[in-house]
Structure 1
Amino acid sequence: MGKKGEATKDALIETTQGLIEARGYFGTGLNQVIADSGAPRGSLYFHFPGGKDQLVGETVARASAGIDALIGSIEATDAKQLMAVLLSAVGQRLEASNWNQGCPVATVALETAATNDAIQQVCSTAYAGWHRTLRAKLVADGRADADDLATFLLSLLEGAMLLARAHRSTEPFAAVTRVIDSLL
């Protein structure tokens, strides 16, 4: 595939990510993706012959890789600092988007996990990747409880994103950071 083809595919994925984060799986229509991306209709089906599920699956996978890279790139002296930096980054991103861009996985997972096995698997793989990366950071910090702690911290992160978006406030991120400081 040439540069133009890759650019078109990237535009479709980036547009889809913005839409699914703001509107969810069911609120994101292919016509809106085409209109917002500026891509020709034929390009959508050329790059994603599996239709909406393939497009959303690849979008979630790419967005997930970005979050995984963020977690992996955080240089922290301990788990408290790691989570403070991560929560701050996610909170700033959410606030900067005017509360539209939440988690690239959560909304899709909540809407489709019970009814769409392919998308459920992509979401599960995304969370498993974040868990692995966070767990590795916790093991490096000497945490014997790294597996359970990674699950707990991811749950706090997802919950804080949901509450922050619902309240249109970064206070849930600050509250979670304070609790993590007291628990760890």
Structure 2
Amino acid sequence: MAVKGDATRARFIEAARTLVEAKGYHGTGLNEVLAVAGAPRGSFYHHFPRGKDQLIGEALAAAGREIDGVVDELAKSDPAPAALVTAFLNALADRMTAADYAKGCPIATVALEVSTADTELGAICGVIYDAWQDRLAEALRADGRAAAEAEDLAGTVLALIEGALVLARAKRSRVPVDRVGRRIAALLGAD
């Protein structure tokens, strides 16, 4: 029974991830999540007794882990920061175009919607962004950058990536991502 319950819970999380990234927090209704997950309302409240915010929080955390996994895989090929960021941007751009621009950063849509309220979801978004920035700063330090420079550069690169993804979705074009990729490569000293 636990395996079936785990599968149902995972379907809810995956449905929420997909819908929220494309439509945002407010654009994603519980009935739509139930339909995409193919599970009844009672199962939803069994797995997520705190409701929609709990589900979305877990979906955001899962999305953050997915991006971490992508970075881990890419780092196996070339851990140098410039090559890693370029490969990561290309992976995100490919993912976005394959989804006909319904996907970009799996965190940004919710982060923008909840930024004016002091919510648990906003805090979750912040933690994920901090982890990504810390990870990039760590790679930059390992590549020989001073700690303060690595931190500033990591924040700049993350902001460039996020901005490029928002612009690419708005314009329905990967051109902003490609431009930012070239600028980041230059900023990080890629040959």
Q: TM-score range by the shorter chain?
A: over 0.9
Structure 1 Cα separation of the partners of residues 170 and 102 of structure 2? 10
Structure 1 Cα separation of the partners of residues 141 and 116 of structure 2? 33
Structure 2 Cα separation of the partners of residues 77 and 59 of structure 1? 28
Amino acid of the residue matched to residue 154 of structure 1?
L
* Residue of structure 2 equivalent to 1:173: 177
* Residue of structure 2 equivalent to 1:97: 99
- Find out whether 1:149 has 2:153 as its counterpart: yes
Deviations 1:113-160 (A, max 9, x none): 222421111111111111121122111111221111111111111011
Question: What pairs with 1:12-91 in structure 2 (closer than 5 Å)?
Answer: 12-75=12-75, 76-91=78-93
Structure 2 Cα separation of the partners of residues 181 and 100 of structure 1? 26
* Residue of structure 2 equivalent to 1:3: 3
Structure 2 Cα separation of the partners of residues 179 and 125 of structure 1? 26
Residue range with higher mean Cα deviation, 105-114 or 8-17:
105-114
- Find out whether 1:133 has 2:135 as its counterpart: yes
Residue range with higher mean Cα deviation, 65-74 or 160-169:
65-74
User: Are the aligned partners of 2:12 and 2:44 in contact in 1 as well (CA < 8 Å)?
Assistant: yes
Aligned-partner SS, 2:66 = helix
Residue range with higher mean Cα deviation, 43-52 or 172-181:
172-181
User: Are the aligned partners of 2:81 and 2:136 in contact in 1 as well (CA < 8 Å)?
Assistant: no
Aligned-partner SS, 1:26 = coil
Q: Once superposed, what is the RMSD of the aligned Cα atoms?
A: 1.3
Structure 2 Cα separation of the partners of residues 89 and 140 of structure 1? 23
Structure 1 Cα separation of the partners of residues 79 and 49 of structure 2? 46
1:5 Cα shift? 0.5
The normalised TM-score by structure 1 is 0.95
Deviations 1:153-172 (A, max 9, x none): 11111011111111111111
Q: Which runs of 5+ in 1 are unaligned?
A: none
User: Are the aligned partners of 1:68 and 1:133 in contact in 2 as well (CA < 8 Å)?
Assistant: no
Residue range with higher mean Cα deviation, 88-97 or 76-85:
76-85
Residue range with higher mean Cα deviation, 113-122 or 148-157:
113-122
Q: Which runs of 5+ in 2 are unaligned?
A: none
Between the two proteins, what is the percent identity of the paired residues?
46
Residue range with higher mean Cα deviation, 124-133 or 64-73:
64-73
Structure 1 Cα separation of the partners of residues 43 and 126 of structure 2? 28
Q: How many residues align?
A: 184
User: Are the aligned partners of 1:71 and 1:134 in contact in 2 as well (CA < 8 Å)?
Assistant: no
